[in-house]
Amino acid sequence: MNSEIQDHVAQLALVDHHVHGVYEKNPTVDEFSSMITESDRQPVSLEVAMNSQIGFATRNWCAPIIDLPAHCPPQTYFDRRLELGATEVNRRLLKASGITHSLIETGFRGDQIHGPEAMAELAQHRVDKVIRLETTAEKLLDTGAVTAKSFIADFAKELQIACQGAVGLKSIIAYRYGLHFEPTAPTRLEVEKAIAPVLQQVASGEPARITDPVLLRHLIFAGLDLELPMQFHIGFGDPDLLLHLCDPLLMTNFIKYAEARKINIMLLHTYPFHRNAGYLAQMFSNVYMDVGLAINYTGARSEAVIAESLELAPFHKILFSSDAWGLAELTYMGAAMFRYGFGRILTEWVDQGLWSISDAKHVADSIGHMNAAVAYKF
């Protein structure tokens, strides 16, 4: 087997176009167990939590980085992690990932993880930020200074401020409603009516939470006015979503609208709808995709998922991401398993005479970092 392609991919500079910060402190065993699954149901033990593709992958790929043999027992792994401490574990795993540029989205439990500035220092590479629409709106509402009449203008101003220096936006409408939303902006009267219950919620002392599809649509269309690439969670995620409503094909008319405005739409994760995402990336000039966290969670089968993502999508429309949150293991594995699977796939196609070496290297460079630079304009 020709190793030239695998060597090229192993040294590839990676732009992680969708990732979050790592945990600031040593996690408890329950916290670690919870973060190693997308479910919000607490695993009964560390052993149960790691009895999965991602658990086996952690013990295989990450154990040697913290001076343990691959496939060591879960408790041995966790004990060594605590012994080294969060800062050292984070430093080792982030450095070993070979990621050279991260686009960090801070809208989910941002008070528990390192922010963009701290991540840049810890990882020793360039970090840019992506702004979550829903979190920005909810923080504004929680100030108690917003009225139904002022919300539209207040949010537009707040989003403009939040996006200073940002390279993109993100919507989690998939979690809050689904991707079958109306592909048109709501009217002012519709927004004012929909925001009233949320304002009452805030007035009663509860934190704001936006779930009304009218409001979620308003945030998206307000975001389009900034003409930044917009990320959408697609597919697999925690039980807060209904997976059958997270198929990106449901967004087709919205994608056409954004295409007419020349705004890039970034389909994140996409599993198990990655083939549908590939179709959209081929059909529409503004659609990009990745398989993100599916690489970690499918573990030993991730090579198949990566290969399937290369079926329909044009190679200049595919990006790399880890979608890691909290655990530096997820960042490292996202990169390490991507390199392993991607390198093996390209090598096989070159060895079979289906691709040339130069084409394979160009596709690797494109997906590794060049496509992100074009899509986000850095």
Domain ranges within the chain, ordered by starting residue = 4-24+97-376, 27-84
> Given strand 126-132, what is the order of strands in its sheet?
14-19, 99-105, 126-132, 168-171, 230-234, 265-269, 287-289
Q: Which residues contact 177 (CB under 8 A, 6 or more apart)?
A: 211, 213, 216, 245
pLDDT in tens, the chain (378 residues): 568 999 999 999 999 999 999 998 999 999 999 999 989 899 999 999 999 999 999 999 999 999 999 999 999 999 999 999 999 999 999 999 999 999 999 887 777 889 999 999 999 999 999 999 999 999 999 999 999 999 999 999 999 999 999 999 999 999 999 999 999 999 999 999 999 999 999 999 999 999 999 999 999 999 999 999 999 999 998 888 999 999 999 999 999 999 999 999 999 999 999 999 999 999 999 999 999 999 999 999 999 999 999 999 999 999 999 999 999 999 999 999 999 999 999 999 999 999 999 999 999 999 999 999 999 999
- Domain 4-24+97-376 listed as CATH 3.20.20.140: yes
pLDDT given for residue 205 in this prediction = 96
pLDDT given for residue 240 in this prediction = 86
pLDDT given for residue 192 in this prediction = 98
Considering the entire predicted model, what is its pTM? 0.96
pLDDT given for residue 1 in this prediction = 56
Q: Is 260 left (phi over 0), alpha (psi -120 to 50) or beta?
A: alpha
Q: Which residues contact 353 (CB under 8 A, 6 or more apart)?
A: none
pLDDT given for residue 62 in this prediction = 98
